[in-house]
Structure 1
Amino acid sequence: MKRKTVMSQMILKIGIVLFLVGSVTISLIYYFVAIQINQVEKEEVSTVTKIVSNTMESTQTSTKIIENLITQKLLTASKGIAKELQGKSIEQITTEDLIKLKEHWNLYDITLFMKKGDDIVAVKSSQPKEIGLSTKGWGFWYQAFDQLLSGKKVTVSEGYSTDHFWAGPISLSEWEGKYILYGYFNDGTTPFLINPYILDQDIYNITYKSGPNQMIEKLKNEMNSVEEISVINVPAWLKGKENKVVYPEFDEPLLYGTHSFSLPMDNEILKKVMENKKELNVHFKSGSKQLTEYFIPFPQDRVLTIVLNSQFYENIQKKLLIFLIFDFLVLFLVIFTLIRIIAKRQLKPLQKIIAHLRQLSRGDMTEKLDIRENNEWGWLAIQINEMTDKVSMLISDLKKEVRSLNFLSYSLTERAQSSLETMSNSSTSLTVHARTVFAELGFQIETLMRDLDILVNTVSGLEVDSNLKTNLKDSILNIGLKLSQMDDLMKSDAHSVTELGMMFYDTLNEITEAINHLNNSTMDLQSKAEVFQIDEDEIN
């Protein structure tokens, strides 16, 4: 199996650490950027909301100012018309009179209303189509007319009122389909209600067709993520097809902008927003676009809707992620390459150490490890050189001891061989001589024993004192016993001498074998010691 190097292991570990650090860093950056983008999206919604709200307020303020100016013009015209018609009955007033007054006061038309029973009807007008128009079913309009004709102050909250005068909100003409601002005046000097009115299409266009709409279009053009903005009049919107636009301010379902991204749950969401007065949003897909629609509650039962292109932000996040990954890979390769170069440079002494240790493993201790580094490598080289010196001295001493041991072994071998031969000869000679002497002695003892037997028999046949005979026989028997003991002892000594010779022989053989084993061990140790090459001159 291929051996792994320290550099490859170190670079691999550093690479893994860099990869993990880079991955965590990219993940954190991506996460925080996603949070920031989400915050930017919310800030965009907030910005659009403020701009549209401020634009609507400023437009409505401007409209109110213009309407007030027009209302004042209508009031002035009404007073002038009343003065011109004062003292005339309704029958005395002709259409031509009203047309002249209209042109004089720069009005769109003039209509005169009178009370007939429980109704208030248009009886004269510069516009013939207005004549005969009933107002009984006009709600607060009829209430205002009745209060003016009765000489009372108008209490209707809609429109604008002052003494003897009331101007209704901009409304749609039933027979022309145009938006008109109507004024109504009666100061008691005439029996009829004077109704001058001005075409308010321009004000309507400023209020509902331009103004906020222009700002919405500008926002859509300048903000890439904004797909659509609209201001919805919720009560009118919820009526659907049954809704009828009479007063734009109250009846227009879509006040500003466009609402082309209609969702099945729009009405449900609009109801929730109006009930809870809280912002809601919904994610949906249109074609290949990922969109988010925000529903923001506005005053007067209106809701601002903003459709943002989530794909726009997702594309930014994807591009950022690709950019981060690309940068990380480039940075990773650069750092990895630099680390590899630096590691190779820093680990260069390690290669020298490995080569030196391989040389030492082969027994070559003649060279020094030359690493001139003022760091751990230099310290390690010094330690290895000191260890090598100590091992070299040890091996040198060992070689000397081996040579001495070899000489000693050789000397012992020669001496043991010589002693073995001498002892063998001496033992053999001693054993043969001892056997001869012991055999001769045994023969003599046997002869003496026979002579004693004869002597005993002779004594037994002597005719002497019985006590003396007994004493002689006892003495002879004692001598025979001693000779018998001497024969036994002699045979025992002869056997001991033989065993002693054999013991000497065996001992010498064992000594010889031990010396031979010592000699062989010495030769083996010498051959192993010769493997190591040391500088004898430097040691000496």
Structure 2
Amino acid sequence: MRRNVWLLALILIAVLLGVNNTIYYFTTKSSLESNLRHELETVAKQIAISIETSRNGSEKYQDQIGRELRAASIAAQYALNPDIEKVTNAQLVELKSKLDLYDLTLLKRTKDNIVLYRSSDNKQLNYPTSSWDPWYKAFNQLFDQKKVTVKWGQSLTNFWTGPFEFSTVQTKVINKWGYYYDGTTNYILDPYISYDDRQRDYDNVTGVNHMISETLSQNDTVLEIGVLNPETFDSGPRVTINENGEEVTHMTQNPILNGTNAFKHENDSRNVQLANETNKYVWLNTTINGKHVLKLYIPVNINKVASMLDGNGDAIDRYVLTLVADYQTIQDKLDKQFVNIGIIVVIVTALSFIIVYWTATGFRKSQDKLVRKAQETYVEEINQLFQSIRAQRHDFLNHVQTIHSLAEVNKIDELKAYTAELTGEIRQMNDIINIGNPAIAALIRAKISQAELLRVQLETSISDMNKMELGVKSLDMTRILGNLIDNAFDEALNYSEEERFVRIFIGQKPGYLEFAISNTCLHAETLAAKPLFESGYTSKDGTHSGLGLSIVKSIVDQYKGLVRIAINEPGMITFIVKIPD
């Protein structure tokens, strides 16, 4: 039966360990995925910072180019006649070469328009600009000698410049134009340079696309990076038709400003708008182009610049950075860590079983040892009881002879004293024999002998034992009484011989069996407040284990009984045990 209980306990522990390990496995998996997402977010933030640093650097470089265009405008103004009618295109061709410009154009204000009137490039001549919003607005403000109020671009004294952009006249060429007017001429000077001549080299070394390319080459997990314009992403590339019927693409309004978006998904538009509107990260875990990927949409706040415009030509204050990561790389990392976790779980489980087995085996051996010791004590005490009875019977003839001799010599006083002593010893032995329970009788006989040796006054009161129908094992009763009496003897020995007193009461009450063991204790109140029934606790010296009262408590609890401490008389402490029938 006991083996089955331990087997059941081991199975229960195994199930609990299994459930615990399963919960731990999936919790750890979730934690690892969360950590990897956090790691990916950190990488994305670093990429966003790098892109912003590169983009800001590019903007600063364009500002420097703008200042150079303004300086070139002033230099050209000194070389040209202030009247546009007295300036020739040939002069502009010569001047643009000296100033290292791509071309130089002069804008004239007419009654209802502003046109490209003189130019070093004949293709630029006679183009009206009224449809070039917001450039046309800037031209009018310059002619009116007002500060240009366009919310993007670079505005300096008497000067304004926009970003690099495709030319309306030469649709495949990207230029940056500067516009200068200080009122001393009747035209706006418009020097400009080519992207290929100035900006491309810079971008190839430190530009956003270069940075994206370097990041992709250094990071195996990241498959693609894109800088998206949330205002034009849904509508596609911004295209207009020039005066010659040619399509002009506007790079500042492109849906993809930098990088690529080859890993397209049907939810891209919705997620780009969601990231832009909420200013929060948006995750997409899906399969694109046959790959399991994580696509991250990151809103990036910026100062309004000329290089990023919405469909109406107004600067935007936020773009969306997309980052596509290969989930298989992440899954490989997870699998590797899961294998390590699995090994740890198996090892911990095996060690747990071993520890439980050792604990159970040790506990069982300890219990068996205690039971065996109690049984040996029980047998020894029974033998001592029988030995005492045999000794009394063996000495009976000697007692009779002594009584006869005292009677013959007429020593009545000595005879009375001798018979009184003999009667007391016989009565005490008969009282013990009449207890009705051999185990308790043997224990009491042994404790009487021990009390005589220890010079402890022992008083016993045992009643109604013959009527008892005990549900308590004799072995458990002797363990309870033995520990309580030994505990009483230990405390009594702390006092002088005349103060050493122990009282034992055993009796059957209606519905329960009661043990009451009292002993001398001059500090009963203090002792009663201590955790006497806790395993290992002892108020005695270091030679005691502190297990006696703990064993009593565990046995009493096993029988649904109770044990308590009473202080009913001065200088005495009483331990009372009640066990239901």
TM-score computed with the length of structure 1 as normaliser: 0.58
Q: 2:131 aligns with which of 116, 127, 137?
A: 137
Q: Give the match's secondary structure for 1:259.
A: coil
Q: Give the match's secondary structure for 1:240.
A: coil
* Alignment CA distance shift 1:87-1:266 (3 Å): closer
Q: 1:161 aligns with which of 130, 152, 155?
A: 155
* Alignment CA distance shift 1:19-1:243 (3 Å): farther
Distance of 1:154 and 1:334 partners within structure 2:
79
Q: Which amino acid aligns with 1:98?
A: L
Partner of 1:79: 74
Distance of 1:153 and 1:389 partners within structure 2:
118
Q: Which amino acid aligns with 1:254?
A: I
Query: Which of the pair is proportionally richer in strand?
Result: 2
Distance of 1:328 and 1:160 partners within structure 2:
64
Q: Percent identity?
A: 24
How far has the Cα of 1:220 moved from its partner? 4.1
Partner of 1:30: 26
User: Is residue 327 of structure 1 aligned with residue 344 of structure 2?
Assistant: yes
Partner of 2:208: 212
Q: Give the match's secondary structure for 1:35.
A: helix
Contact 2:32 2:334 in 1 (8 A): no
Distance of 2:147 and 2:372 partners within structure 1:
113
Partner of 1:13: 9
Q: 2:115 aligns with which of 113, 121, 126?
A: 121
Query: Which of the pair is proportionally richer in helix?
Result: 1
Q: Which amino acid aligns with 2:160?
A: W
Higher relative contact order (CA 8 A, sep 6+): 1
Q: 1:305 aligns with which of 322, 343, 353?
A: 322
* Alignment CA distance shift 1:153-1:220 (3 Å): closer
User: Is residue 259 of structure 1 aligned with residue 261 of structure 2?
Assistant: yes
Distance of 1:153 and 1:59 partners within structure 2:
29
Distance of 2:261 and 2:50 partners within structure 1:
19
Partner of 2:224: 228
Distance of 1:251 and 1:113 partners within structure 2:
26
Distance of 1:336 and 1:163 partners within structure 2:
84
Contact 1:283 1:292 in 2 (8 A): yes
Q: Which amino acid aligns with 2:53?
A: S
TM-score computed with the length of structure 2 as normaliser: 0.54
Q: Give the match's secondary structure for 1:121.
A: strand
* Alignment CA distance shift 1:28-1:112 (3 Å): same
Distance of 1:324 and 1:155 partners within structure 2:
63
Count of matched residue positions in the alignment of Structure 1 and Structure 2: 363
Contact 1:168 1:182 in 2 (8 A): yes
Partner of 2:516: none
Distance of 2:174 and 2:157 partners within structure 1:
25
Q: 1:191 aligns with which of 186, 190, 195?
A: 186
Q: Which amino acid aligns with 1:382?
A: K
Q: Give the match's secondary structure for 1:268.
A: helix
Q: 1:285 aligns with which of 281, 284, 287?
A: 287
Partner of 1:238: 234
Q: Which amino acid aligns with 1:286?
A: I
How far has the Cα of 1:16 moved from its partner? 4.2
Distance of 1:342 and 1:150 partners within structure 2:
97
Of 226-235 and 205-214, more deviation after overlay is shown by 205-214
Greater radius of gyration (CA): 1
Q: Give the match's secondary structure for 2:150.
A: coil
Deviations 1:314-351 (A, max 9, x none): 4444443333333333444455457657867886x7xx
Distance of 1:298 and 1:214 partners within structure 2:
19
Distance of 1:346 and 1:235 partners within structure 2:
75
Contact 2:107 2:116 in 1 (8 A): yes
How far has the Cα of 1:172 moved from its partner? 1.0
How far has the Cα of 1:104 moved from its partner? 1.4
* Alignment CA distance shift 1:232-1:243 (3 Å): farther
Contact 1:171 1:179 in 2 (8 A): yes
Partner of 2:434: none
**Structure 2: runs of 5 or more not aligned:** 241-247, 302-316, 387-581
Contact 1:291 1:311 in 2 (8 A): yes
How far has the Cα of 1:147 moved from its partner? 3.0
Partner of 1:65: 60
Distance of 1:272 and 1:101 partners within structure 2:
52
Deviations 1:252-303 (A, max 9, x none): 2112222122122222333343344444333322366433323233332422
Distance of 1:382 and 1:343 partners within structure 2:
20
Contact 1:208 1:255 in 2 (8 A): no
How far has the Cα of 1:386 moved from its partner? 5.6
How far has the Cα of 1:171 moved from its partner? 1.5
How far has the Cα of 1:240 moved from its partner? 1.8
**Structure 1: runs of 5 or more not aligned:** 350-374, 396-540
* Alignment CA distance shift 1:18-1:89 (3 Å): closer
Q: Give the match's secondary structure for 1:382.
A: helix
Q: 2:99 aligns with which of 94, 101, 105?
A: 105
Counting only pairs closer than 5 Å after superposition, residues 382-401 of structure 1 correspond to structure 2 as 382-385=373-376
Contact 1:209 1:256 in 2 (8 A): no
* Alignment CA distance shift 1:288-1:142 (3 Å): closer
Distance of 1:20 and 1:315 partners within structure 2:
30
Q: Give the match's secondary structure for 1:64.
A: helix
Contact 2:51 2:211 in 1 (8 A): no
Distance of 2:222 and 2:212 partners within structure 1:
10
Q: Which amino acid aligns with 1:66?
A: Y
Contact 2:238 2:254 in 1 (8 A): no
* Alignment CA distance shift 1:32-1:81 (3 Å): same
Counting only pairs closer than 5 Å after superposition, residues 346-357 of structure 1 correspond to structure 2 as none
Partner of 2:369: 378
